[in-house]
Structure 1
Amino acid sequence: MSVEVKDKVADYLGEALGRPIDLAPLPGDTTLNSFGLDSLSTIGVLVTLLEDCGVDLGEHADSLVTPSTLDDLYAIAGRFMKVEEPTSNGSDMSRELRSQLDYYQEKLAYEIDAADLKAALDEGQDLVVVDGRSSEAYELEHIPGAVSIPHRSISQESLAGLSRTPLYVAYCDGIGCNASTKTAIKLASSGFRVKELIGGLDWWKRDNYPTEGRAARCDAPVHANCGCAG
């Protein structure tokens, strides 16, 4: 987390509490109520932060959850604040090319495809697959081992028991559904590391991977290697 983001969060907390706040020695999991903030004053801090960042509260209301720790506030501030990145005088890379490379790197940082997810699961990597659809859709068919966390039910309370160590991979039906995006936003806003599964359950099945549930494909066809693996 950048120093600028931490300094701004300290300013917002100091304004709400009426005294200077030094966050440098405090771990990210420090609870906001330990500063003496109740739920109402915490929401006040959140609203002030978002208004200062020029965020349309109505547009993002569905993707925001009330923060409960410093990490929660850092994640929200980092998401909406425009932090200037230092420039390198020694680089002759054009601004357009740098922007293009940043775009593609960010796609890989925030997205994962079915083949890479299957490989990660087979390797036993520390990740949790999250189905952001309704519980009914999950029970009908889902990716093996996935946990059901409908995006509309996500709150600080529902996330309280989740470890922040694993990578969380959110998915939904596919490109015609945005439940995975809403799930990823809410998890990221709460300080979790998240990627979104490209194509969701639809493309997982197109790659001939098995599913679980009442409509599960227990005997999926033999999988053909992903063309991007060549």
Structure 2
Amino acid sequence: MRSLIREIPAASPAEALQHFSRRFAFETDCADVHQSQQAGDVDYVLVDVRGSDAFAKAHVPGAINIPTGAITAEGVADYAPDTLFVVYCAGPHCNGVHRAAIRLASLGFSVKEMIGGLTGWVDEGLPLQGETPASDPGFSCAC
């Protein structure tokens, strides 16, 4: 009996290399964002795409709030065409971050997802800003 893992054959090493290498074109993680902030090497705009009430409760330091629904040509008109946006939402359980990424890309901007979102940030033990203590961050999508 074959394990469920081997039921579908693994990709070839060449296919795996291509797949996993490409993921870095679309994703970054909380540790990389934090490290770039600590090094003062922030060459992107970090965007929390949740609603303004959720953002006020808790957000990643240095993030701005542009709720997904507000990502329009008018809403991002002040950004240079070569701006890289790094977007996040409440966590891996929310697809609002993907909706936001689609909107930004459709407007011609480069975009990456900070995988894990706010949940991942807290899981890494990193500090939050906002009105609510870190022990009760009040995560909600409301994207």
Pick the aligned partner of 1:121 from 26, 30, 37. Answer: 37
More strand by percentage: 2
SS in 1 for 2:31: helix
The higher relative CO (CA closer than 8 Å, separation ≥ 6) is in: 2
Pick the aligned partner of 2:106 from 180, 189, 193. Answer: 189
Answer yes or no: is 1:167 the counterpart of 2:96: no
Alpha-carbon distance in 2 for matches of 1:213, 1:164: 30
Q: Which has the larger radius of gyration?
A: 1
Answer yes or no: is 1:99 the counterpart of 2:99: no
Alpha-carbon distance in 2 for matches of 1:147, 1:163: 16
**Alignment map for 1:52-63 (pairs within 5 Å):** none
Question: For structure 1, which runs of at least 5 residues remain unmatched after alignment?
Answer: 1-94, 218-230
1:107-129 superposed Cα distances (whole Å, 9 cap, x missing partner)? 11111111111011122221111
TM-score norm. by structure 1 comes to 0.50
**Alignment map for 1:191-230 (pairs within 5 Å):** 191-217=108-134
Name the residue aligned to 2:137: none
* Letter in structure 1 aligned against 2:84: L
Shift of the alpha carbon at 1:143? 0.5
Alpha-carbon distance in 1 for matches of 2:100, 2:78: 16
Aligned residue pairs, count = 124
1:124-180 superposed Cα distances (whole Å, 9 cap, x missing partner)? 221111011111111111001111111112111111112233421100000111111
Name the residue aligned to 2:57: 140
Shift of the alpha carbon at 1:96? 4.1
Name the residue aligned to 1:21: none
Name the residue aligned to 1:149: 66
Alpha-carbon distance in 2 for matches of 1:183, 1:123: 27
TM-score norm. by structure 2 comes to 0.79
SS in 2 for 1:101: helix
Q: Percent identity?
A: 38
* Letter in structure 1 aligned against 2:64: V
